[in-house]
Each structure stands twice: as structure tokens, then as C-alpha cells.
Structure 1
Amino acid sequence: MNAQPDTTGRADLTAQRQDDFRDRHVLVTGAASGIGAAVARQLLAQGACVSAVDLDAAGLHRLRAQATDAATGGTAPSERLWTAVLDVRDAAQVEQTVAQAEAALGPLHGLASVAGVLEMGAVIDLEDAQWARCFDVNATGVFHVCRAVARRLRDRRTGAIAVVSSNAATTPRTGMAAYAASKAAATQFARCLGLELAPHGIRVNIVSPGSTDTAMQQALWALGSSRDTVIAGDPARWRLGIPLAKIATPDEIAQAVLFLLSDQASHITLHDLRVDGGATLDQ
């Protein structure tokens, strides 16, 4: 007789993760689509209260529509979801929105900083506005949101922050200098923040995805790339392929974010978790 797989441990881990987030309040930036939306949905499914913010009002409306009235964790997901349109480049608006989120759902316990933009182009062809946009959102925006949340977590001496960066932060990419440099800035900022917050019991970690099936990735394919060429690699552009031979899904990246926010990662801080199918050979 063939032995049946023992799923007890997996079930126990799932239950533990749900206990980690039940009734905890997490702010998610970039929550209208892609990885941010996946993070918000998974948090809601595990009983968290979620403040979902983004510039895309229509995307936030779709997220709310997906939060059904089915009971989860004792309350309906829609009752545990607060949404607001937010431009992370505006420091005053960030402070105001974080205060409003806490007024709506209670003190924050965590942050998933996911909002980001992509600008493509060789360095000699880049416009000043393209460079500025990447840094304004991917670096300065991360600073604004992390600062506002960190001030509150520090005073309570509890909580965790996960910053979604990119494997491009440590691996050169042709045509992606503005994006890669801004993500490198966000990665190093998160490490410094984690070092400063560690004495207060606050953990800060980074998730660095590779190619992920989002609107951002699909925009690259529209410029002449494709799913197959990304997986196979492109020696002419000094780019390795993906050893696991697949593009990540937003949910796969979100699972890494939730792990680092959870108590299961209680002794992990300053860590950069690469989730790219081996595309950067775990540099």
C-alpha cells in the first residue's frame, strides 16, 4: 500500500500563519493590482485588517469588490478593508493617510510597501523625468511610507515591515538603469531602517522578485520581449534565463511577503529574500 502524504504539518503551518494575522492591521501600498493586490487579498483571507492604498482608484474599487461577504476570521473581509487613493510621493498626504487608516481600523501592526513604477531606456536616452519618476516612487515614496509607519511601530515596540524591491537592485540590466538604481536605493534604505528599528523590536525585510506576471511585466513584453525569451534568457543582453522555467505569479511573491511579516519570521530582519526562480543564481 502506498503511503499517503502527511499534510498535518502543512495544516499546522497554515493555522499558525492565520493566527499571526488575525485582527492585525497591515498597510499595503500599491494594492490596486499585481503583487500589492495579491498581498492584500491573502492578508484578508487570513483574518487581517487591511488598509489598501494606491493611486489607482478603479483598481482599489475592484479589490473591494473581491472582498466578499463570506465570513473569515469572525468578520466579513469587506468590513476589515479600508481603501484610500494615495500618492506616495507626497509626504504630507502619506502622513495624513496613515493617520486616517489607524483611525479606521486601529493601530498598525505591519507594512507591505509594494508601490513601484518602471521606466525603460538606455542611460544615454533617458529623460530626466523618467529618472525622477522612478526615484520619486520607488525610493522617496518608500521612504515616506516607511517613515510614517515606523514612527508608530517604534513607539509600540512591535510590528514588521516588508519592502518589495527587485532582483534588478543587485543585478545590472540593460535598458533598466533608472529602475534598477531606484530599487537598489530602496533595498539599502530598508536595511538601514531595519538596523535602526531592531533595538525597538521591529523587523524590516526586503522581498526581491524577478519576472512576475503583472501589468508591469506585460508592458515589457509589449516592447518586444516575451514570456519565452524571459525564461530562456538573452545572452546578447547579458541576461540569464530562469532555472525554474516559469514566470512568478503575484500570489507567489505575496506569500514571501506574508512570511516575512508573520511571526514565523520572528528572528529575521535586514534580509533580502530573492524570489526569482533562480534567475540571479541567488547572488
Structure 2
Amino acid sequence: MELTGIESTVALVTGAGQGIGAAVAGVLAGAGAHVAAVDRNAEALATVVTKLEAEGQSARGYRVDVCDSEAVDVLVRRVEDELGPVGILVNAAGVLHTGRVVEMSDRQWSDTFSVNAAGVFHVSRAVARRMVGRRRGAIVTVASNAAGVPRAEMAAYAASKAASAHFTRCLGLELADYGIRCNVVSPGSTDTPMLRAMLGEGGDPRQVIEGSPAAYKVGIPLRKLAQPRDVAEAVAYLVSDQAGHVTMHDLYVDGGAALHV
């Protein structure tokens, strides 16, 4: 199926410096979007943008911390001044702190929510304010299957992703009158730097695939990790014309790991 409605559209992608965000930027740029790639890591962002430009794609990097509300407002204004009206927003920026709740610091909790929840709010609000007047647009938030399934030693991450997912669905309800669609993609274990860091040095991805009965965690029925592009393709579908009657939906891309109903 050829996806339409992406070509020549300005797509703002947060967390574009690596992992799923970088894959989303690549897939949308490959579909003809003008990508505003956003990340707080300038070096990683430059690498992604340089690669896309070398492939003949349209991409420009913007170094911004999504935790900073004022900086986000300036960013969106700058993107629209330089590239044109934002028609697609993908919230892919995210951080992960693992550990038991009784050992977690206030800083770890607040840092997780600052990026994963407040960051989604800041960017979505800034973009939505402009989309409303144009009465069109598509917003996708990359959450996690951990938002719907309890995970040991992942409370802050899971709770922050649940917050961002439900926020996005509520936003979709508010913006439906303006023809703006808001959806969620919830990946499971995906082969990204974040997962590799969580596994630690010498960690074996097979333990994720097999699951852990001791942690009440089932494995992945499809017997493989997701690749970042698997998630990016799901995002691309949801922002395309082919998903024109889909809003407030949460699409799990986890190989069946959440046994999601």
C-alpha cells in the first residue's frame, strides 16, 4: 500500500537523534516529508540529518530540550518560519530510568516525567495551537506497551508513558472538531540504544524474547525484537491519508508481548 498525504508535508519529529525517533525521521523523509528533526543531543542529531541529506532527503536539525516549554514554543515558530506549516508531529523523545520504586530518587522520577510526559504536552500544545487554525494535521505519540502492562523496576517509565498515551487520546478528542487526528504507537522491546543500555554490557536480547516468569513478564510471541523501522512504519501509516478515519487509537507494535486486547 502506497501511503499518501506525507509528501511535501512538514513533519516535526522529536527524539530524532537515535533509535525510534531517527527511524521515524528517515521513513517520513523517505516518503517525501520535509523533516524538522529535533533532539537535545546536537552531535547525534547532526549525524542523522547529514545521513538523510546525503540520501537526497529533506531534513533540518533543531537542538531543543522538550522539557523547556518556552524553548519549544520558539522552536515551533522557527520551524514554521523556515520550513512551512507543521502538518505532522511525532513525539518520539523519551528517557528510561530503571530500578525498584523504594530505591528510586525524586530526580529520577521527575526527569522521566519531564521528558516522557511534560515534553509531549509542551510540543503537542505548541503544534496543535497552529494546526487548529488550519483545521488539519496529524499527531502521533510514541508510548510503550509498558504503559498498559505492569513492569517490575520500570514504574517511572511505564507511568510516564501511560500519561503521555492517555494525554494524546484526550487531545485527539478535543481536536477532532478541527479534523486533526491524534494517535499513539506503543512499541515493545525494540533494538535501540535504550534497550541495549537497559540490558547492560554483555546482555543477551534472547532473555527479552524468552521472557522472565520470575518477573511476571511473558516473552515475545513472534520470537524477535522489533527493529526501529517496524515502529516507524506504523507511525507513517497513522499520519498518512490511509489512516484518515483513525484517531485516539493506540497501536501496539510489540510482537504480541503485551497480550493486548
TM-score, normalised on structure 1?
0.90
Root-mean-square deviation (Å): 1.1
Q: How does 1:203-282 map to 2 (within 5 A)?
A: 203-222=181-200, 226-282=204-260
Q: Which position in structure 2 is the counterpart of 1:145?
A: 123
Partner in structure 2 of residue 154 of structure 1: 132
| Higher Rg | 1
Residue 32 in structure 1 maps to residue 17 in structure 2: yes
Instruction: Establish whether residue 131 from structure 1 lines up as the match of residue 109 from structure 2.
Output: yes
Identity percentage over the alignment? 51
Structure with greater contact order relative to length (CA < 8 Å, sep ≥ 6)? 2
Q: Secondary structure at the match of 2:252?
A: strand
Query: What is the CA–CA distance in structure 2 between the aligned matches of 1:68 and 1:202, rounded to whole Å?
Result: 29
Q: Which residue of 2 aligns with 1:48?
A: 33
- Contact 1:82 / 1:101 at 8 angstroms: preserved in 2? no
> Displacement of 1:223 after TM fit?
6.9
Partners in 2 of 1:223 and 1:151 — Cα distance?
44
Cα distance, 1:180 vs structure 2: 0.5
With 264-273 and 80-89 compared, the bigger mean Cα shift is at: 80-89
> Contact 2:53/2:59 (CA < 8 Å) preserved in 1?
no
Deviation at 1:129, TM superposition (A): 0.4
| Runs of 4+ more than 3 Å apart | none
Any idea what SS the aligned residue of 2:5 has? helix
Unaligned runs of 5+ in 1: 1-12, 71-75
Contact 1:82-1:104 within 8 A present in 2 as well: no
Shift of 1:226: 2.6
Q: Tell me what 2:51 maps to.
A: 66
Alignment of 1:106 with 2:91, yes or no, is: no
Paired residues for 1:132-211 under 5 Å: 132-211=110-189
Aligned to 1:4: none
Displacement of 1:193 after TM fit?
0.3
Give the match for residue 3 of structure 1: none
Q: Distance in 1 between matches of 2:101 and 2:144?
A: 19
Amino acid at match of 1:166: S
Whole-angstrom distance in 2 between the partners of 1:268 and 1:42? 20
The Cα shift of 1:69 comes to 4.6
Distance 1:176 1:26 in 2: 31
Structure 2: gaps (5+ residues): none
Deviation string 1:144-168 (CA, Å, 9 cap, x unpaired) is 0000001111110001000000000
- In 2, Cα distance between the equivalents of 1:223 and 1:273? 31
Amino acid at match of 2:137: G
Distance 1:96 1:117 in 2: 23
Structure 2 CA distance for aligned equivalents of residues 224 and 137 of structure 1: 28
Query: How far does residue 60 in structure 1 lie from its aligned partner after superposition?
Result: 1.0
> Which amino acid counterpart does residue 67 of structure 1 have in structure 2?
L
